[in-house]
């Protein structure tokens, strides 16, 4: 366990707190009297809930779908690590990448919490195509497919977050997953960076 | 293949007449959440055409998707995939969409053939 705190969680938490503050401020200007009355009676969280903006709800939904995909990636690397098909050096890299995905989940989950939502949990079981994993390259191809998909998932989430700071945080995760993808392609003997643009 | 290509140029207004091979590459963008034969973060795509939106029984959809009363075909997919969040507000498919109409047409052609293929979708 590293004692250094990763940057993403603090960035995301800060983002979520800022979003909430901005939201409360906007709610305050729009419906001052109702907000002021509720604030004075100490019901700040009720104010936030009663006027919960759909854009915040939408950000929570986008974050939760990303968390769900990250949980699957963690389970997939677990499957790969336990398959007995990976050479020691490859196994080390796989475990490291899995650790990154776990950090993404922690960061995204704390953002969901700060926005007043509930982060989704991992499924109890994943229905992976285990029958297709017979050698190390099958595992690497499987992982590369998930990482390739993740790049697109974040590229597809970045433009639709209402909160631009969440977009920035998603971009930092996208960069990490793109690096995973390149390394896995390299390990498979493929051109690690086959194009100039990805979406 | 070349016959198919010429046909696709002639009747390019038809959303099912894209290039499924090019469409398979576009489908890579969906693979973080979907597969043809398994439910993942998103529902499986086998049997998609003709299916009511939100109707895979063991998949947990958003209320928005279940209430959308969409039937999936080339046209409804073209509409939805361009901008999922505006076509089904409240959907959990947090994805901006495929803005390029030719890429969508290729993708839909791939989805049509793959989701009905007896090899992939028994």
Give the residue among A84, A89, A186 at the shortest CA–CA distance from A141. Answer: A186
Whether B30 contacts chain A with CB within 8 A: yes
Query: Closest Cα partner for B28 from A12, A116, A144, A90?
Result: A144
Answer yes or no: is A54 within a domain: no
The pLDDT score that the predictor gives to residue B108 is 98
> CA B90 to CA B58: how far, in whole Å?
20
Closest to A66 in 3D by CA, of A160, A185, A197: A160
DSSP string, A78-99: HHHHHSS-S-HHHHHHHHHHHH
* Token pair of A178 as six digits: 């793109």
With 0-12 / 13-18 / 19 or more C-beta atoms within 10 angstroms meaning exposed / middle / buried, residue B83 is middle
Dump pLDDT digits (tens) for A113-137. 999 999 999 999 998 989 999 999 9
Number of CB atoms found within 10 A of residue A198's CB:
15
Least CB–CB distance from B31: residue in A58, A148, A158 = A148
Distance of alpha carbon B66 from alpha carbon B62, whole angstroms:
6
* Residue A199 domain-assigned (yes or no): no
Taking 50 as the pLDDT cut, the residues of chain A under it are: 1-9, 11, 23-52
Give the per-residue pLDDT at A87.
Answer: 96
User: Considering CB atoms only, which of B31, B38, B90 is closest to A127?
Assistant: B38
Domain spans in chain B, listed from the N-terminal domain onward: 15-115
Q: List the structure tokens of A43.
A: 């019901």
Mean pLDDT (chain B, rounded): 90
Q: What pLDDT digit, counting tens, does each position of B51-68 carry?
A: 999 999 999 999 999 999
Q: How many domains does chain A have?
A: 1
What was the pLDDT predicted at B46? 97
Number of C-beta neighbours around residue B6 at 10 A? 8
Residue B35: which H helix or E strand, with range?
Answer: none
Residue A21 phi, psi dihedral angles, 5° rounding: -65, -45
Question: Cβ–Cβ of B41/A68 closer than 8 Å?
Answer: yes
> CA B87, CA B68: separation in Å to the nearest integer?
9
Distance from CA of B49 to the nearest CA of A (A): 23
Q: List residues of chain A with CB under 8 Å from any CB of chain B.
A: 54, 57-58, 61-66, 68-69, 72, 126-127, 129, 145-146, 148-150, 152-153, 155-160, 199
Residue B11's pLDDT band (boundaries 50, 70, 90)?
A: very low
Select the more confidently predicted residue: A199 or B106: B106
Q: How far apart are CA B105 and CA B102, in angstroms?
A: 5
Establish if B99 touches chain A: CB-CB under 8 angstroms.
Answer: no
pLDDT at residue A50 in the model: 37
* Beta-carbon separation of B97 and A156 below 8 A: yes
Give per-residue burial for A97-111: e unless 16+ CB within 10 Å, then b: bbebbebbbbbbbbb
- Residue A167 falls within a domain, yes or no? yes
The per-residue pLDDT for B15 is 58
pLDDT for residue B95:
97
Share of chain B above pLDDT 90, in %: 82
How far apart (Å, rounded) are the C-alpha atoms in residues B23 and B104? Answer: 8
Provide the ipTM.
0.86
CATH number at residue A65: 1.20.1260.10
**pLDDT at position A47:** 38
Q: Kindly state which CATH superfamily the domain B15-115 is placed in.
A: Cytochrome c-like domain (1.10.760.10)
CA distance B96 to chain A (A): 5
Chain A CB within 8 Å of residue B25 CB: no
Residue A92 included in any domain: yes
Q: Residue A161: what pLDDT?
A: 97
Q: Do A149 and B28 touch (CB under 8 A)?
A: yes
pLDDT number for residue B14 = 58
Total-model pTM? 0.83
CA dihedral for A58, A62, A63, A68, sign (positive or negative): positive
Residue B36: closest C-alpha in chain A: A129
Q: Show the domain range for A86.
A: 11-29+59-187
Q: Please check whether residue A113 lies inside any domain of the structure.
A: yes
Give B94 to chain A, closest Cα distance, Å.
Answer: 5
User: What pLDDT, in 10s, does the model give residues B34-51?
Assistant: 999 999 999 999 999 999
pLDDT bracket for residue B2 (50, 70, 90): low
Provide the Cα torsion A114, A120, A122, A127; round to 10°: -150
The predicted pLDDT at position B17 comes to 81
The rounded distance, in Å, linking the Cα atoms of A119 and A99 is 19
Chain B interface test: which of A67, A112, A152 (most B C-beta within 10 Å): A152
Q: What's the pLDDT at A61? A: 97
pLDDT tens readout for residues B68-91: 999 999 999 999 999 999 999 999
Chain A contact present for B90, CB below 8 A: yes
């Amino acid at each position: 366990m590293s004692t250094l705190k990763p940057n993403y969680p603090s960035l995301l938490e800060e983002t979520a707190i800022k979003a909430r503050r901005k939201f409360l401020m906007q709610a305050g200007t729009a419906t001052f009297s109702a907000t002021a009355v509720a604030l004075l009676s100490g019901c700040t969280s009720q104010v936030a809930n009663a006027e919960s903006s759909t854009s915040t709800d939408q950000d929570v939904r986008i974050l939760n779908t990303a968390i769900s995909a990250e949980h699957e990636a963690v389970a997939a690397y677990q499957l790969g690590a336990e398959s007995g098909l990976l050479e020691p050096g490859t196994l080390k890299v796989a475990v490291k990448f899995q650790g990154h995905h776990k950090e993404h989940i922690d960061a995204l989950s704390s953002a969901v919490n700060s926005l007043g939502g509930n982060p989704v949990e991992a499924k109890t079981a994943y229905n992976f195509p285990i029958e297709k994993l017979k050698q190390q390259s099958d595992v690497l191809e499987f992982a590369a497919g998930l990482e390739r998909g993740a790049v697109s998932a974040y590229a597809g989430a970045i433009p639709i977050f209402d909160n631009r700071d969440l977009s920035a945080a998603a971009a930092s995760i996208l960069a990490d997953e793109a690096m995973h993808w390149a390394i896995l392609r390299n390990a498979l003997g493929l051109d690690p960076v086959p194009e100039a643009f990805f979406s | 293949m070349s016959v198919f290509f010429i046909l696709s140029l002639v009747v390019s207004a038809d959303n099912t007449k894209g290039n499924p091979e090019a469409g398979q590459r576009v489908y890579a963008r969906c693979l973080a959440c979907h597969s043809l034969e398994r439910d993942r973060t998103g529902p499986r795509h086998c049997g998609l055409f003709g299916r009511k939106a939100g109707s895979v029984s063991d998949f947990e959809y958003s209320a928005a998707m279940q209430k959308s009363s969409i039937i999936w075909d080339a046209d409804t997919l073209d509409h939805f995939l361009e901008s999922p969040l505006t076509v089904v507000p409240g959907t959990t498919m947090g994805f901006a969409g495929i803005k390029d109409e030719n890429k969508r047409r290729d993708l839909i052609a791939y989805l049509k053939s793959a989701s009905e293929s007896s090899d992939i979708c028994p």
